[in-house]
Amino acid sequence: LSPDCSFTCHYRCRALVRLDCSGPPGAGDEDDGTEQALEKDTNVDEPSEWEKAELDQAQVEQRIKEYNSQINSNLFMSLNKDGSYTGFIKVQLKLVRPVSVPATKRVPSLQAGRPGPRAQGVKRRTSFYLPKGTVKHLHILSHTRASEVIDALLRKFTVVDNPRKFALFERSEKDEQVYLRKLADDEQPLRLRLLAGPSEKVLSFVLKENETGEVNWDAFTLPELHNFLRILQREEEEHVRRLRHRYARCRQKMQEAL
């Protein structure tokens, strides 16, 4: 491991950690710094008028033709006979916290020299940080929802965390300011892509942690919830101990004064 890198992990997990440390923290992150500076005054707006627009079949067909004529790749949109359409969206993953992926470790037989009756697999998890700037293209339908896009991304990277811990955002740039809006679960990203056109500045998609301001307890596993309860109990016991000690001192001072 590089001396520039500092991390903390369980001693049994140390052998599973793989870090690619290429320099001191912050090296090569100039673009991220600019991005953070732009997002200090991020606006979380309601959908704009063009996002609310309803298109009939002829308008959809015309929009698809215009879209395909503007792109410089083979990521075209295609109109289906039933009126739906398919196409590609690009999602950038900007996750601050590590994600969990499954890891299987075989347990050797306890009797040396004699093979066990059956190799036993123990399900384990290992956590790592996704590289900054990770981008994934997804081929989806016009009626594919934002929640389904999140599920597909997690499957692509074999992430086992609860999908409700993540949210899909639309990002746009205007007047040197970045605008972010969290998509509702039932919104259709490909429809937004078609309405906005292929420009990434007008519209791009970002997967981030789902920061709602309120704790979503349903997104945690049972062991995690039990740990939280133990932590709360310890904090409560410590708080009660300090209060009793404080009142005991006050009572002692009063008795000395008497």
Binned at pLDDT 50, 70 and 90, residue 141 comes out as: very high
Report the DSSP pairing between strands 78-79 and 85-93.
Answer: antiparallel
Q: Which residues lie across from 153 on neighbouring strands?
A: none
At residue 197, what are phi and psi to the nearest 5 degrees?
Answer: 90, 180
Predicted TM-score (pTM) of the model is 0.60
Question: Which stretch of 11-15, 195-199, 240-244 has the lowest confidence by average pLDDT?
Answer: 11-15
At residue 207, what are phi and psi to the nearest 5 degrees?
Answer: -100, 125
**pLDDT at residue 90 above 90?**
yes
Binned at pLDDT 50, 70 and 90, residue 113 comes out as: very low
Q: How far is Cα of residue 27 from the mean position of the Cα atoms in its chain?
A: 23
Distance CA 189, CA 86 (A): 11
Alpha carbon separation from 85 to 81, 116, 159, 173 (Å, rounded): 9, 54, 28, 27
170-185 pLDDT tens trace: 999 988 888 999 999 9
Residue 3 CB partners (closer than 8 Å, separation 6+): none
Q: Are 217 and 225 in contact (CB under 8 A)?
A: yes
Choices 3.40.50.10800, 3.30.465.10, 2.70.150.10, 3.10.20.90: CATH for 38-99+124-214 = 3.10.20.90
pLDDT at 47: 59
Alpha carbon separation from 58 to 16, 62, 232, 250 (Å, rounded): 55, 6, 59, 81
Most confident of 57-71, 106-120, 121-135, 199-213: 57-71
174 torsion bin: left (phi>0), alpha (psi -120 to 50), beta (else): beta
**pLDDT at residue 146 above 90?**
yes
